Amino acid sequence: MTVLSTEYTWAALGGDPALAARVSTVVRTGVLASRLPVRELARACVGSCALAAAELGALRAGLPEVPGVRVDDGALATALVSERHLLIGGRAPVAFAPLSRFWRTADGWVRTHANYPHHRARLLAALGTSEDPVSVAAAFAERSAAEAEETVYAAGGLAVALRTAKEWAAHEQGAAVAARPVVERGRLDSAPARVLAPIGTGPLLPAAGVRVLDLTRVIAGPVATRTLALLGADVLRVDAPRLPELPDQHADTGFGKRSAVLDLAADRRAFEELLAGADVVVTGYRPGALDRYGMSPEALAERRPGVVVAQLSAWGAYGPWGERRGFDSLVQVATGIAAIEGSVAEPGALPAQALDHGTGYLLAAGVLRALSDQVREGGSRFVRLALARTAGWLSSGAERGRETPVDGAAYDGPEAWLAERDSALGRLRYALPPISFTGGPVDWVRPPGVWGADRPQWVY
Average pLDDT, the chain: 93
The pLDDT score that the predictor gives to residue 407 is: 63
Question: What residues have CB less than 8 Å from 43, skipping those under 6 apart?
Answer: 5, 6, 25, 71, 73, 76
Band of pLDDT at residue 403, cut at 50, 70 and 90:
very low
Confidence tier at 281 by pLDDT (50, 70, 90): very high
pTM of the entire structure?
0.96
Q: Give the distance from CA 197 to its chain's centroid.
A: 28
- Residue-wise pLDDT tens digits, 49-78: 999 999 999 999 999 999 999 999 999 999
Task: Tell me what the mean pLDDT of segment 78-96 comes to.
Answer: 92
Give the list of residues 6+ apart from residue 168 with CB closer than 8 angstroms, or none: 174, 334, 335, 336
Query: Which whole number is the average pLDDT over 402-415?
Result: 70
The pLDDT-based confidence of 18 (bands split at 50, 70, 90) is very high
Mean pLDDT across the stretch 203-216? 96
Quote the crossing angle between the two packed helices 38-61 and 387-399, to the nearest 10°: 120
Q: What is the pLDDT of residues 157-205, one digit of tens each?
A: 999 999 999 999 999 999 999 999 999 999 999 999 999 999 877 899 9
Contacts for 224 with CB less than 8 Å, ≥ 6 apart: 216, 282, 310, 312, 360, 361, 363, 364, 367
User: Is the sign of the CA dihedral 54, 58, 60, 61 positive or negative?
Assistant: positive
Pairing mode, if any, of strands 428-431 and 418-421? antiparallel
In contact, 152 and 122? CB cutoff 8 Å = yes
